[in-house]
Amino acid sequence: MRMEGMKGCPAVLPIDHVYGTLGIVGATTTQRYSDASKLREEIEGKGSFTYFAPSNEAWDNLDSDIRRGLESNVNVELLNALHSHMINKRMLTKDLKNGMIIPSMYNDLGLFINHYPNGVVTVNCARIIHGNQIATNGVVHVIDHVLTQIGTSIQDFIEAEDDLSSFRAAAITSDILEALGRDGHFTLFAPTNEAFEKLPRGVLERIMGDKVASEALMKYHILNTLQCSESIMGGAVFETLEGNTIEIGCDGDSITVNGIKMVNKKDIVTKWCDPFD
């Protein structure tokens, strides 16, 4: 530290290893879990790591059953979950290019990167809120969600959700459902059963019985890009697979479609959607 009237260098905080950096950036729950799962020794030692560390709030918002399951098996389930948040080399946000799929340190499961023109960077749709925290053996990026394992396609998700049975029936009629099981990057706005029930009976019957009508409806709810809600800073217009456009915006914590708050669940990341009413 330089004293007045004396030579010296300005005071600079020393760089710590990845484990210590978790504490410096306030990701203390991730730090505590890294200790409990015996990951601490690894991220204090030699190597080069990128750690997408969930914030304390992200852990608090995680489904309580999932969290209890991780805490009840720290040496396997929790360790695997933390490794799925890590890359075996240092990558700053400038290195995270849009559309990248980077193998994580858990079974090489892919981490899908979006780097949007507005500067927002997401990992499996979790936003980096405090990035580029340099450590002696890597870098820490604090993210706003806990990453959960991705093992299903959009088709699998639709087939498993009871509240999407009407949408599933229309998707089958239109032959769109099978297409959503193939490789590709899509954003799906999936109407719930309640949304279909609000339609006039005649319109609903036509959708369910007319392949052309059901196909047009399905394609109007699909974007041919992966658009995470965290990237939406204001009204943005996107072209749907049907050819018309929709405006996606935000109103506080809510996502709007064509100016109407209608998204119930957002950023349900599937293997390469958002239900609304």
Q: Give the per-residue pLDDT at 94.
A: 97
H/E stretch holding 74: none
Q: Looking up tokens 């600079």, which residue turns up? A: 12
Q: Give the per-residue pLDDT at 203.
A: 87
96: number of CA atoms within 13 Å, CB side? 29
Q: Give the per-residue pLDDT at 10.
A: 52
- Residues with Cβ within 8 Å of residue 246, at least 6 apart in sequence: 189, 220, 237, 238, 240, 257, 258
Q: Please state the pTM of the whole predicted model.
A: 0.77
Tokens coding 36: 């409990």
Q: How far, in Å, CA of 186 to CA of 204, rounded?
A: 25
Q: How far, in Å, CA of 226 to CA of 93, rounded?
A: 19
Instruction: Tell me the per-residue pLDDT of 175-188, one tens digit each, with 9 for 90 and over.
Output: 888 888 777 778 88
Strands 245-251 and 236-239: antiparallel
Q: How far, in Å, CA of 250 to CA of 233, rounded?
A: 7
From the centroid of its chain, how far is CA 188?
A: 14
Q: Looking up tokens 């010296």, which residue turns up? A: 8
Q: Give the per-residue pLDDT at 191.
A: 87
pLDDT of 146 strictly over 90: yes
Instruction: Tell me the per-residue pLDDT of 150-177, one tens digit each, with 9 for 90 and over.
Output: 656 788 888 888 999 998 998 888 888 8
Neighbours of 68 (CB within 10 A): 11
User: Is 8 exposed, middle or buried (CB count within 10 Å of its CB: 0-12, 13-18, 19+)?
Assistant: exposed
- For the chain, domains (ranges, CATH) are 18-143 (2.30.180.10), 154-261 (2.30.180.10)
Q: Based on C-alpha coordinates, what's the Rg of the chain?
A: 22
Asked if residues 41 and 49 have their Cβ atoms less than 8 Å apart, the reply is: no
pLDDT of 8 strictly over 50: yes
Q: Which residue has the higher pLDDT, 229 or 215?
A: 215
Strands 274-276 and 254-257: unpaired
Q: How far, in Å, CA of 264 to CA of 268, rounded?
A: 11
Between the ranges 120-134, 160-174, 239-253, where is the mean pLDDT highest?
120-134
User: Is 79 exposed, middle or buried (CB count within 10 Å of its CB: 0-12, 13-18, 19+)?
Assistant: buried
